[in-house]
Amino acid sequence: MNGNNITIVGQKAQQTKGAGCKRNQPLTPADFQSNNQSQAIVPLNNNQKVAIVTGSSSGIGFETALALARASFRTFATMRNLAKGEPLLQIAKKENLALFTRQLDVDKDQSVATAVKEIQEEAQRIDVLVNNAGYWLVGAIEELSMQELRNQFETNFFEAVRLIKAVLPVMRKQKSGAIVNITSMWGRVAIPFDPAYHATKFALEGL
């Protein structure tokens, strides 16, 4: 993003101000830090870096939320069903992590706006957004309904757009931040019977 220290980091690409696009670079802890290194990470104070992770009830989102919390980020793990966040909260309590769950339906504009607003008001900053929520829809294109295709794009692609639009004003104001979109190798190559999933991942790679 020109004019700010806002980094958008993909699973395979990283773009920073004044630099070209670097492909096939693995993510490192440094990718999640703002360029302002004068602010130390101190638990539960205004200088602690804050992360939001979508789709945190299982899989990549679950592990990412834990990894960020263990790296001293104040982490908000979001999901539709908060009951599924109990395992995360149990680990957070055992390890004394600054990890919290928040209800968020990535398919709904108001849910996204409300969750991001509440997190920003509580934490006073947002430093990292990890767009992870998604699912895999299998079926030949002629067998999938238009609604099924729309639903796949709502969750796999437009969720990222919604969250990016919600957090960017905060990151621009604080002049730092990182956005990570979890994509897939299936956003580069395609196989039969997965056209909807591939289309969403190709779209996310181009975002």
pLDDT of amino acid 47: 75
Task: Summarize pLDDT for 49-86 with one digit per residue, the tens.
Answer: 999 999 999 999 999 999 999 999 999 999 999 999 99
Residue type, 65: A
Task: Round to whole Å and give the CA distance between 104 and 37.
Answer: 31
Asked whether 86 and 99 are in contact (CB, 8 A), the reply is no
Verify whether residue 135 is a known catalytic residue.
no
Query: Please, what is the average pLDDT of the chain?
Result: 79
What structural domains and CATH numbers belong to the chain? 5-15+41-135+158-184 (3.40.50.720)
Task: Summarize pLDDT for 165-196 with one digit per residue, the tens.
Answer: 999 999 999 999 999 998 877 667 777 877 78
Q: Which of 11, 197, 199, 201 is catalytic?
A: 197
pLDDT of amino acid 21: 30
Cβ partners under 8 Å of residue 188, min gap 6: 12, 202, 205
pLDDT of amino acid 191: 74
Task: Summarize pLDDT for 127-173 with one digit per residue, the tens.
Answer: 999 999 877 777 788 888 889 989 988 988 999 999 999 999 999 99
> With pLDDT > 70 as the criterion, what percentage of the chain qualifies?
76
Rounded to two decimals, the pTM is: 0.75
pLDDT of amino acid 184: 73
Asked whether 106 and 163 are in contact (CB, 8 A), the reply is yes
User: What's the average model confidence in pLDDT over 12-25?
Assistant: 32
User: What's the average model confidence in pLDDT over 25-47?
Assistant: 42
